[in-house]
Structure 1
């Protein structure tokens, strides 16, 4: 899905699926998981030269992270995004999510 999103020209993090047995230092409980692959995501919010501050909608809506799904939905996000002048990002991401939904 992330590869498809990148090919659709959406800004995505670098990701890969790897076999869990190839990851060293995991807790022993991981061996009991039924899923044998893991999604790895390259950090996009910092490197050796810079740190990019990332806010989620819990911060924007002034709520705790564990409550963010109670107060925010796509309608709420859709009303806030135009205020940031990044409407195209919301609409292109929404179009991607809708078109990639499993039926």
Structure 2
């Protein structure tokens, strides 16, 4: 069982949620600072954690700006099967309700 946090602009700051294993960014953060705050919800206190950001064709430029600001190219998953992407999408939509 994994503890998953679905993050949007609302969840980028001010939340203190312990023991998050995985952060799913439903949208691309507007800045590198916001990205760091969102993904910083996982891997606290020496724990392991992962983050995945859903990037659409409209988000690529912002995502590249974040990579540039961080000085790091983030791993891509271009072969994510559509059915798995849809499961993540449905979970994110459910969390927003």
Give the TM-score normalised by the residue count of structure 1: 0.27
- Relative to total residues, which structure has the larger helix share, 1 or 2? 1
Give the TM-score normalised by the residue count of structure 2: 0.28
